[in-house]
């Protein structure tokens, strides 16, 4: 057994309906696949309905599960309300909202137009707000409990990051929303948690964050103390746990899954990792020699 294996028992999500925004590609598709394997019905949603229908057919054949594909731009509240309606009409109820859809690209901030900045804020922060509000209001109105909202953020939600400032700003807002509603809406039987992934190669992210030969220039695995990037299944394992009843007492938490990447960047003396082992005798001698000077 290792991190590439599937973690939960086969029926862990049986009977649950899970809505995954951005479920037709990358990490959203990986999490959707595993939820289906664990017995859930999954609603996948994004702007591109052709892509979603293709993924629906592929995943239903692969897993034997049930998928509903719904076109929805999370920037528009009316489309999100229609998503709630379509999900309930098909599956009777919704148990989990996974806010995974995102937009991002690297750019010096002074090159961004006001609309470029807004576009990222609108997809990530406003989109998560739209879904959270529409689904939350629905659950409250229907008096339904044992609901879960899981938000995908990033580790720069708390450190910030140059060159992806709209994304960092928006993800920080999503993190604040997660923690705030974990307290406020617990009384309605909702839990709110977040996952902060480190580098997990996907086409969507790599095309926009590491275009051209940046992939070779900035080998992200070298920034990770564990010296590798993430495997989609290990993220899916964590997400499945957090949306399942096994995590019933976990609320308001953000779980980092990054091999130690952000801490390596943060620790002031972490760069001493580059000092060769054989130099430490000499360095220790030099430090000790200064004791009484």
Q: Are 32 and 7 in contact (CB under 8 A)?
A: no
Rule CB under 6 A: is residue 204 a binding residue for ligand HXC?
Answer: yes
Q: What character string, x for contact with ligand HXC (CB under 6 A) and - otherwise, covers 110-129?
A: -xxx-xx--x----------
Q: Are 11 and 35 in contact (CB under 8 A)?
A: no
Question: Of these partners, ligand NAP, ligand HXC, none, which one is at the site of residue 17 (CB under 5 to 8 Å by kind)?
Answer: none
Of the residues 205, 210, 236, 238, which one makes contact with ligand NAP according to CB under 6 A: 205
Q: Are 86 and 115 in contact (CB under 8 A)?
A: no
Bridge partner residues of 45 (DSSP):
21, 70
Q: In the range 147-166, which residues lie near ligand NAP by CB under 6 A?
A: 152, 154
State which residue, 22 or 39, has the beta carbon closest to ligand NAP: 22
Q: Which candidate in 156, 163, 188, 241 is catalytic?
A: 156
The DSSP 8-state label assigned to residue 126 in this structure reads I
State which residue, 39 or 127, has the beta carbon closest to ligand NAP: 127
State which residue, 149 or 157, has the beta carbon closest to ligand HXC: 157
Of the residues 208, 231, 254, 255, which one makes contact with ligand HXC according to CB under 6 A: 208
Rule CB under 6 A: is residue 256 a binding residue for ligand NAP?
Answer: no
Give the integer Cα–Cα distance in Å for 151 and 31.
13
Q: In the range 164-203, which residues lie near ligand HXC by CB under 6 A?
A: 167, 199
- CA distance readout (Å), 71 to 24, 51, 100, 184: 11, 10, 15, 30
For tokens 């995954």, name the residue. Answer: 20
């Amino acid at each position: 057994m290792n991190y590439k294996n599937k973690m939960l028992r086969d029926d862990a999500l049986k009977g649950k309906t899970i809505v995954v925004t951005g479920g037709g590609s990358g990490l959203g598709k990986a999490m959707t696949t595993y939820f289906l394997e664990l017995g859930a019905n999954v609603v996948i949603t994004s702007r591109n309905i052709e892509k979603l229908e293709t993924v629906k057919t592929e995943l239903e054949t692969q897993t034997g599960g049930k998928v509903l594909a719904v076109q929805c731009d999370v920037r528009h509240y009316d489309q999100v309300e229609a998503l709630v309606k379509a999900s309930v009409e098909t599956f009777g109820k919704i148990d989990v909202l996974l806010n995974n859809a995102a937009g991002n690209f690297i750019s010096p901030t002074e090159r961004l137009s006001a609309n470029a900045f807004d576009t990222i804020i609108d997809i990530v922060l406003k989109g998560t707000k739209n879904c959270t509000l529409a689904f939350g209001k629905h659950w409250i109105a229907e008096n339904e409990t044992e609901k879960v909202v899981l938000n995908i953020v990033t580790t720069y939600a708390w450190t910030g990051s140059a060159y992806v400032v709209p994304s960092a700003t928006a993800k920080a807002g999503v993190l604040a929303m997660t923690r705030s509603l974990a307290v406020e809406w617990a009384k309605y039987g909702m839990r709110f948690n977040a996952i902060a992934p480190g580098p997990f190669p996907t086409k969507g992210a790599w095309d926009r964050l590491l275009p051209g030969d940046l992939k070779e220039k900035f080998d992200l695995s070298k920034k990770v103390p564990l010296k590798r990037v993430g495997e989609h299944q290990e993220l899916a394992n964590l997400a499945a746990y957090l949306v399942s009843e096994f995590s019933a007492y976990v609320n308001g938490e953000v779980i980092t899954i990054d091999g130690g990447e952000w801490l390596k960047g943060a620790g002031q003396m972490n760069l001493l990792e580059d000092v060769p082992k054989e130099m430490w005798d000499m360095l220790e001698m030099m430090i000790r020699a200064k004791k009484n000077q």
